[in-house]
C-alpha cells in the first residue's frame, strides 16, 4: 500500500510541468503563453466569464470546507438525527 502511495505522489509531482506546443504558444495572449493549448480568449468577455466562474468555484470550495469542518446543526430534531439514530 505504501508503495502505491509513493508511486502516486511521484507521478503527481512529476506531472506538474506541461508546456504548450510552439504553434499554440505563438497564438496565445501573453497571459496564457506557454500554459495552454488551442485558441486563446477571443475578447474581453472571455476573461470576464473565466473570472466569474473562478469566483463561483472558490466560493463553493470555501463554503464546502467550512460546512464540512463545522456543520452547525446541533438540534435534536434535525433530520440528520433520523439517519444517525437508526445506526
User: How many other β-carbons are positioned within 10 Å of the β-carbon of residue 20?
Assistant: 17
Contact between residue 71 and residue 79 where contact means Cβ atoms under 8 Å apart? no
* 83 phi-psi bin (left φ>0, alpha ψ -120 to 50, beta other): alpha
Q: Does residue 5 sit in the same domain as residue 17?
A: yes
Q: Does residue 19 sit in the same domain as residue 32?
A: yes
Residue 81 placed within a domain: no
The range of the structural domain enclosing residue 6 comes to 1-40
Per residue of the chain (87 residues), what is the pLDDT tens digit? 677 777 776 666 655 555 667 777 777 777 777 777 777 778 889 889 989 999 999 999 999 988 887 877 778 787 777 776 666
Q: Does residue 9 sit in the same domain as residue 28?
A: yes
Q: pTM score, two decimals?
A: 0.54
Q: Does residue 49 sit in the same domain as residue 28?
A: no
First-to-last C-alpha distance (Å) of the chain: 31
Amino acid at each position: 500500500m505504501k508503495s502505491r502511495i509513493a508511486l502516486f505522489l511521484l507521478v503527481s509531482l512529476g506531472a506538474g510541468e506541461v508546456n504548450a506546443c510552439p504553434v499554440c504558444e505563438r497564438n496565445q495572449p501573453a497571459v496564457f503563453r506557454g500554459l495552454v493549448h488551442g485558441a486563446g480568449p477571443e475578447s474581453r468577455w472571455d476573461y470576464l466569464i473565466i473570472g466569474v466562474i473562478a469566483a463561483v468555484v472558490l466560493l463553493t470550495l470555501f463554503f464546502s470546507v467550512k460546512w464540512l469542518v463545522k456543520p452547525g446543526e446541533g438540534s435534536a430534531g434535525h433530520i440528520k438525527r433520523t439517519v444517525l439514530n437508526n445506526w
